[in-house]
Amino acid sequence: MVPDINLLPQLEKRTASPKLFYTLIILIVGCILAYLLFLFFTTKSDLARLTAEQQTLNTQLDQLQQELQARQSVNQGSLEQSVTFIQSVSYPVTPLINETKTLLPVHAYLRSYTFGAKTVNIEADFETMTDISKYVERLLTSSFFTDAQINTVSNFHIELGEDKELTPEQKFKEVPRYSVSITATIDFMYLAGGRRS
């Protein structure tokens, strides 16, 4: 028998599947690593931006809280002052309003009235100075008031229709109306037991 000796290396077909498989795994791992690196850097930049925003929002929050505390302290003080004022100045105002209206002369107009702790500030329009003096006299003789003083008197012209230039004669014939501010002191003793409206 003759031995079969082959000195040539055996040529076998190698399968390419393990190379392709490893290459594919390396590509997938590389893509995953690249994606993770991308996420890392974008998250890092977002984190830096959001940290800066958080700091600015925290400073704004601190400022707004300080403003709120300042306003709350002011509002509490003014609310307490309002309650104290209302408790100390509690009197019926309807009789005073009716009295100031009924004492007005015929062609007078009551613009406003402001109530204080002990006084009423009346603003009215009158046609003549005589009407003003009559009104102050009536306030002084009224049982609701102990004193009446004129604060200011100013005149104004009534303009009806078109704004036209008046001749000197027309200006001389036109009588201005007077706007008057009067302070009347309230008689609380009479008001407490006085007549009701």
pLDDT tens-digit series, residues 154-194: 887 665 555 566 676 766 666 678 899 999 998 888 877 75
Q: Which two tokens stand for residue 168?
A: 């000197």
pLDDT of residue 43: 94
Residue predicted with more confidence, 99 or 73: 99
Residue 29 has pLDDT above 90, yes or no: yes
Q: Which two tokens stand for residue 70?
A: 């300042």
pLDDT band at 92 (very low <50, low <70, confident <90, very high): confident
pLDDT of residue 173: 62
> Which of 140, 136, 111 lies closest to 123 in space, CA to CA?
111
Residue 197 has pLDDT above 60, yes or no: no
Residue 80 has pLDDT above 60, yes or no: yes
pLDDT band at 73 (very low <50, low <70, confident <90, very high): confident
Nearest-5° Cα angle at 166, 162 to 168: 170
pLDDT of residue 34: 95
pLDDT band at 121 (very low <50, low <70, confident <90, very high): very high
Provide CB contacts within 8 A for 84, sequence distance 6+. none
Q: How far apart are CA 125 and CA 155, in angstroms?
A: 9
Q: Which helix (H) or strand (E) holds 30?
A: helix 17-88
pLDDT of residue 195: 47
- Which of 23-32, 75-84, 154-163 tops mean pLDDT? 23-32
Q: How far apart are CA 142 and CA 126, in angstroms?
A: 19
Q: How far apart are CA 155 and CA 157, in angstroms?
A: 7
Q: How far apart are CA 148 and CA 137, in angstroms?
A: 8
Residue 100 has pLDDT above 70, yes or no: yes
Residue predicted with more confidence, 157 or 197: 157
> Over the chain, what is the mean pLDDT?
82
Q: Look up the pTM and report it.
A: 0.50
> Which of 134, 125, 182, 183 lies closest to 156 in space, CA to CA?
125
